[in-house]
A and B are shown apart, each in its own frame.
Chain A
Amino acid sequence: MSAALVNVDDGDALEPTLQSILDQRSLRWIFVGGKGGVGKTTTSCSLAIQLARVRRSVLLISTDPAHNLSDAFSQKFGKEARLVDGFDNLSAMEIDPNGSIQDLLAGQGEGGDAADMGGMGGMMQDLAFAIPGIDEAMSFAEVLKQVKSLSYETIIFDTAPTGHTLRFLQFPSVLEKALAKVSQLSNQYGPLLNGFLGSNGTLPNGQNLSEMMEKLETLRATISEVNTQFKDERLTTFVCVCIPEFLSLYETERMIQELASYGIDTHSIVVNQLLFPRAGSDCEQCTARRRMQKKYLEQIEELYDEFNVVKMPLLVEEVRGKERLERFSEMLVRPFVPPS
């Protein structure tokens, strides 16, 4: 058993496929990220299709405000998980990171006096938006809550094309510091404030000071739980998607460093849109581009020797619809052999 495991480990150090992700049964969260336009959605859809073949149930979630899942599968998805046509264990959903925080804030004011919402509600909102990455953190917390009840085996995130996708992972420490300060203040000036605010310490919109603190505290607890899950390499991995061009590579390198600083595991890079012109091709642009791509591909192989570098070709057709995605996804597990 252990010998077999070692063998697999030795093999996948250089294996140019995502087979290691398919084999790692403990994986629960898989992120797919990269610069805009490199094929994140295509890759995440393909990966989801491959995973659906070996897992009981798979959920594909897009956190990108400009949702592309619907386009990729030619099927409308919404905030609720919905089965993808033609699959019985692959579902997809699209969530809006900004929407969820707005919902949450709207829900918060309900108990209070609607006329007074301007003051404290606005302050709460400002406070909430001032913390970097809180919107994403909230949406992840929301998703986590939903997903827990749904019991999917693996969840794939198609992230937004920003360099700070997972910036919210610093969030608990920021909030912890802020909370410590606030609670210290409220301990010191609590009696004074209560004197101002009335006997039961209600704020203008009917909220209680201690109640608000409690809410922040639960928020922090939720997010720190997300954190521990995402920082566990048995549960979570990050798949970087890039194209063999300078800027994309640069972003990828930065992202990998950033992920390393957050303690998130990443061991796969998908190099997309590789050109393989036919031998006799007289397309000047293609051969020139092929040369450039070759140069960067060599650099990638030199730099990321501990990664699974998956090479995906640029197709002559748009990768949309179930059949094309399935064909494309084959190349994630069986390396593409360029026509010589």
Chain B
Amino acid sequence: MPSLLVVIFVVELAVQLVNTIGATTINNLIWRLYLSIPTPLAKQFTDQRQKQKEYLAVRHDLNATSSQDEFAKWAKLQRQHDKLLEELKLKKSALEAARTRFDRYLTAVRLVSTRGAQWLLPMWYGKVPMFWLPYGWFPYYVEWFASFPRAPLGSVSIAVWQGACTSILTLVMNTVVGVLGLVAAGRESRRQRQKQKQPVPAGAGNGESKKEL
């Protein structure tokens, strides 16, 4: 068992990551990973995509066929179209149900492993000191605060450690997101500047070709 200090830190990190990236994005990512594993479900999805492609092709043909001039061909396509549409609808609802089940399961796991741990761990280990403060370095009220609510006086309690982790991680996350945003914005503006520059050589090129004429 790794040290409780580390466990708390990891749980807080997970919470922060989920908050920053977004639960839906993570769900989508895991869903895609899950589908890339060769399971029966993944095969169904490939089939579905195949059918969809087929359906689109038939619809394209149907739209390209004049019902008045080539009624027989048109009617046959229409039959095929209706049949495929029916199949697609049936399959789609089944697959959507699978996705919903998967999402529900994932959400439950995520909630238990982050929010659950976040609440349960401080309750369970409320009286356990994380580490001891050096004796006599801090005044009484600081020691009292550090050991809040139930840890022995002179130690740092799990709740306080959790709070510290949260605030540091929030800071770091904000900084990282900010820096990333700045970098992205910088790249974007550079690209735009390049775009603005580009018409000039294009115009020059035109001029040259004119000269050649």
Question: Given known contacts A246-B67, A250-B67, is B72 in contact with A302 (CB within 8 Å)?
Answer: yes
Residues 216-250 of chain A, each 1 if its beta carbon lies under 8 Å from chain B, else 0: 00000000000000000000000000000010011
Does B71 belong to the interface (CB within 8 Å)? yes
Assess the A246–B78 pair: CB atoms within 8 A: no
CB distance from B76 to the nearest CB of A (A): 7
Roughly how many angstroms separate A299 CA and B78 CA in the complex, as a whole number? 14
Cβ contacts under 8 Å, B76 to chain A: 303
Assess the B71–A299 pair: CB atoms within 8 A: yes
Does A152 belong to the interface (CB within 8 Å)? no
Question: Given known contacts A253-B78, A257-B82, is B67 in contact with A299 (CB within 8 Å)?
Answer: no
Does B68 belong to the interface (CB within 8 Å)? yes
Contact residues of A between 69 and 105, Cβ < 8 Å to B: none
Residues 32-73 of chain B, each 1 if its beta carbon lies under 8 Å from chain A, else 0: 000000000000000000000000000000000001101110
Does A262 belong to the interface (CB within 8 Å)? no
Does B75 belong to the interface (CB within 8 Å)? yes
Cβ contacts under 8 Å, A302 to chain B: 72
Cβ contacts under 8 Å, B79 to chain A: 257
Does A336 belong to the interface (CB within 8 Å)? no
Cβ contacts under 8 Å, A250 to chain B: 67, 71
Q: Which residue of B lies closest to A296 (CB)?
A: B71
Residues 296-308 of chain A, each 1 if its beta carbon lies under 8 Å from chain B, else 0: 1011101100000
Q: Which residue of B lies closest to A302 (CB)?
A: B72
Cβ contacts under 8 Å, A249 to chain B: 71
Contact residues of A between 298 and 329, Cβ < 8 Å to B: 298-300, 302-303
Interface of B is mostly: helix
Number of interface residues of A (CB under 8 A): 11
CB distance from B69 to the nearest CB of A (A): 8
Interface of A is mostly: helix
Assess the A303–B67 pair: CB atoms within 8 A: no
Residues 247-268 of chain A, each 1 if its beta carbon lies under 8 Å from chain B, else 0: 0011001000100000000000
CB distance from B96 to the nearest CB of A (A): 23
Q: Which residue of A lies closest to B83 (CB)?
A: A257
Roughly how many angstroms separate A299 CA and B72 CA in the complex, as a whole number? 5
Roughly how many angstroms separate A251 CA and B183 CA in the complex, as a whole number? 63
Q: Which residue of A lies closest to B70 (CB)?
A: A299
Cβ contacts under 8 Å, A299 to chain B: 70-72
Roughly how many angstroms separate A253 CA and B70 CA in the complex, as a whole number? 14
Roughly how many angstroms separate A250 CA and B67 CA in the complex, as a whole number? 9
Cβ contacts under 8 Å, A253 to chain B: 75, 78
Roughly how many angstroms separate A197 CA and B172 CA in the complex, as a whole number? 71
CB distance from A154 to the nearest CB of B (A): 31
Cβ contacts under 8 Å, A300 to chain B: 71-72
Contact residues of B between 70 and 115, Cβ < 8 Å to A: 70-72, 75-76, 78-79, 82
Cβ contacts under 8 Å, B78 to chain A: 253
Roughly how many angstroms separate A239 CA and B70 CA in the complex, as a whole number? 24
Assess the A303–B75 pair: CB atoms within 8 A: yes
Q: Which residue of A lies closest to B78 (CB)?
A: A253
Most A-side CB within 10 Å, residue of B68, B70, B79: B68
CB distance from A35 to the nearest CB of B (A): 15
Question: Given known contacts A253-B78, A257-B82, is B72 in contact with A303 (CB within 8 Å)?
Answer: yes
Residues 57-73 of chain A, each 1 if its beta carbon lies under 8 Å from chain B, else 0: 00000000000000000
Roughly how many angstroms separate A250 CA and B68 CA in the complex, as a whole number? 9
Assess the A303–B71 pair: CB atoms within 8 A: yes
Roughly how many angstroms separate A264 CA and B137 CA in the complex, as a whole number? 94
CB distance from A72 to the nearest CB of B (A): 30
Roughly how many angstroms separate A246 CA and B70 CA in the complex, as a whole number? 10
CB distance from B86 to the nearest CB of A (A): 10
CB distance from B68 to the nearest CB of A (A): 5
CB distance from B16 to the nearest CB of A (A): 50
CB distance from B84 to the nearest CB of A (A): 14
Cβ contacts under 8 Å, A257 to chain B: 79, 82
Additional A-B contacts beyond A250-B67, A257-B79, A303-B76 (14; CB < 8 A): A246-B67, A246-B68, A246-B71, A249-B71, A253-B75, A296-B71, A299-B70, A299-B71, A299-B72, A300-B71, A300-B72, A303-B71, A303-B72, A303-B75
- 10 closest A-B pairs by CB: A302-B72, A303-B72, A299-B71, A299-B72, A253-B75, A246-B68, A303-B75, A249-B71, A296-B71, A303-B76
What residues make up the interface of A, taking CB atoms closer than 8 Å to B?
A: 246, 249-250, 253, 257, 296, 298-300, 302-303
Between-chain CB contacts (< 8 Å), 22 pairs: A246-B67, A246-B68, A246-B71, A249-B71, A250-B67, A250-B71, A253-B75, A253-B78, A257-B79, A257-B82, A296-B71, A298-B72, A299-B70, A299-B71, A299-B72, A300-B71, A300-B72, A302-B72, A303-B71, A303-B72, A303-B75, A303-B76
What residues make up the interface of B, taking CB atoms closer than 8 Å to A?
A: 67-68, 70-72, 75-76, 78-79, 82
